[in-house]
Chains A and B, each alone.
Chain A
Amino acid sequence: GVAPLGQLTLQKEHQIQFQLMEATFYHMPQPCDSERLRNYLQRQPVQTPPHYPQQQLPHSDTFEFFQRLSTETLFFIFYYMEGTKAQYLAAKALKKQSWRFHTKYMMWFQRHEEPKIINEEYEQGTYIYFDYEKWGQRKKEGFTFEYKYLEDRDLN
């Protein structure tokens, strides 16, 4: 380095500043400090080998990208990344694939066939749903999907 104006001895106050800064240098802020608390998937920074991807793919935060993900991946994102943009995009992608969210059971349903009954209040028929406790898709026959439990916000 160069110091065109020559060296200056640090003043006492600067030395004190440096000492406090050096002490705090050993406990730096971490990304999680300024983010909402994550219940699952907390950040765990580790040194990864340089030949591994260090960054996410470009455009992986777009709706188009999420549409290419498997249904199970979308369910994983939905349940394990609560309150994030990823959750929003996953929900949007699931809706696009005709999955509907049931706000009482907190599960996603998809018509297996045309419902047998459709009226103002509900529809009834055979549905596929994703069971987040057993972590898998299940079929339910003769299920009544009441529209008051239908999550119908416009995700735009």
Chain B
Amino acid sequence: DRALSGPTSYIHSGMLQARTTDVVDTDGFAEKTEHLFRHWVYTYHNEMNGRDPVKYFGSFVNRMNFLGVLKGDEQLTKFFTIATKMCIEASYRNLADTTITQAIAKTKTYHWIDAYVRLIALLVRHSGDGSNSNTKLNLLNKVLGIVVGILLQDQEQLHGANFQQFGYQRIFIMLFLELSAHDAILENISVGVVTAFCHTYHMLRPANAPGFCYAWLELISNRVFLGRILAMIPQQKGWFMYSQLLIDLFKYLAPFLRNAELAKPVTVLYKGTLRVLLVLLHDFPEFLCDYHFGFCDVIPPNCIQMRNLILSAYPRNMRLPDPFTPNLKVSTLADITTPPRICTNYTAAIQPASFKKDLDSYLKQRAPVTFFAELKRNLQISNEPGSRYNIPLMNALVLYVGTQAIAHIRLKNQVPSKQTVASSAHMDIFQNLAVDSDNEGRYLFLNAIANQLRYPNSHTHYFSCTLLYLFHETNSEAIQEQITRVLLERLIVNRPHPWGLLITFIELIKNPEYEFWKHDFVHCAPEIEKLFESVARSCMVKTNN
């Protein structure tokens, strides 16, 4: 799924080689390598005591040379494969040893791994000449690929359900820390290092290595990793890569979360995910802002709080007016003319190309009406209840039509309002989706709109007006009830709540023109009625003063 060129190709070749390397040792190379590596581990702990290994490293490289390890790619791959396997075998052997505690078993394993990791870091640092970063990064990618290959093979064939994640986790985290040290040569290749680890983690995403999922979450949420990828790489070059890892996580969780039957192993992973999102919301809100669309695409509709965490993010330099301020005039806020940054290429999701063409032509000419049949055909992908619709297409369509509508209104020197959003090709499409869809389709459609109700910006403002317009302009109780449902279900969960969502809901229940309180669904059950009253009390409290 990524171009197989440059450093990435080295990960893949390392991975494939590790999985196919024969253990038949005809020339005694393997045995000598094992001996050599064992010697390194011993020296690392006993003679240099972990300190200043450079002197020992020099003589070790000579020994490697003598053995022919550095002669070519094949020997080098064999060396790393053997060394990695020795570390991992140590982890299983120590854990199986009933005479020692688990803590001691781990410590003994880490003796192997920490020495190995230092060796890798030194080899990477000193490979090629000082300024040649390609050699260093290719070697790193190669080693990472070998570890990935061994991990996948271990989980799929060797140990299966008895797979142990901690040895691999240790290799990755310690190697990353080693390579993040303050060192001019390493700082030179830091972008390449982060990229290499990102590719590695992407290949080990939970869908590929479910037995590694908890360690994987630890790795991608590690303090140093997070700091490097989101803060220290210039020009936010790491943001896209990190968004991919989060999407890997959300995609893996989705089928388990959407059924809302949370077994213990899922709950733990889910809670960890929430914590990562909270950290991101607190420390990198702009990151969540920029990639909210891609995240909402893969988070199941029922994960209200998870999505609220993402939608509540707003740029740190912005001041949000209190939504409960009486007579707050949203249309006068300066921020609502600025479009938010969307870093997901959502237009690309509008497929096939012919449909996109017809969509554009309808938006331009407001004809032909046969377009709506085509719209329906493209959105509905199956007849199975619960998965009838192409959700990413729905989301992309709603955002695309909305942005086109904003541009259209601007062109007429107007600003979005309940009046200006009306009667246009754009609103035709939205009204068609609201009126002609079944409950499932309408629910997804309204959710796609509600996903844009965030901090003050032009999208929030436009979609808020649109949602209120749809509520106002319909005679169908069912549509109004569903609009209320989508808003309410995002507000009755614990905080945080997106600003635009609150604004829209408050307007709906406060402005008499919507006759909100006259609707039957508000009074359908005593507990619902009570709920509305309590929400209303909290929304109205300041107007009464």
Contact = CB atoms under 8 A, between A and B. Distances in A.
Interface of A: 1-8, 10-11, 14, 16-25, 27-30, 32-34, 36-37, 42, 44
Given A4-B302, A6-B386, A29 B214 contact: yes
B166 A24 contact: no
Contact of A42 (B107, B114, B266, B385): B107
A97 B160 CA distance: 57
Given A10-B259, A18-B265, A23 B166 contact: no
A5 B391 CA distance: 12
Interface string B245-289: 000000010011011111111101100000000000000000000
Contacts of B259: 3, 7-8, 10
A25 B387 CA distance: 30
A30 B266 CA distance: 18
B387 A33 contact: no
A72 to B, nearest CB: 26
Contact of A8 (B110, B155, B387, B443): B387
B255 A27 contact: no
A1 B160 CA distance: 32
30 contacts: A1-B261, A2-B302, A3-B258, A3-B259, A3-B302, A4-B301, A5-B300, A5-B386, A5-B443, A8-B258, A8-B259, A14-B256, A17-B206, A17-B252, A18-B210, A18-B256, A19-B161, A21-B211, A21-B265, A23-B211, A24-B165, A24-B214, A27-B166, A29-B169, A29-B218, A30-B166, A33-B173, A33-B215, A34-B219, A42-B107
Contacts of A25: 214, 264-265, 268
B163 interface: yes
B207 A20 contact: no
Nearest to A27: B164
Contacts of A27: 164-166
Contact of B210 (A21, A28, A33, A34): A21
Contacts of B222: 34
Contacts of B155: 20
A14 B259 CA distance: 12
Interface centre among B173, B213, B264, B265 (most CB of A within 10 A): B265
A138 B164 CA distance: 50
Interface residues of B, number: 52
Interface string B42-80: 000000000000000000000000000000000000000
Given A19-B161, A37-B107, A5 B387 contact: yes
Contacts of B111: 37
B152 to A, nearest CB: 12
Interface core residue of A5, A7, A18, A19 (most chain B CB under 10 Å): A5
A42 B265 contact: no
Closest A-B pairs by Cβ, 4 of them: A1-B260, A6-B386, A20-B210, A23-B161
A42 B212 CA distance: 24
B172 to A, nearest CB: 9
B273 to A, nearest CB: 13
B31 interface: no
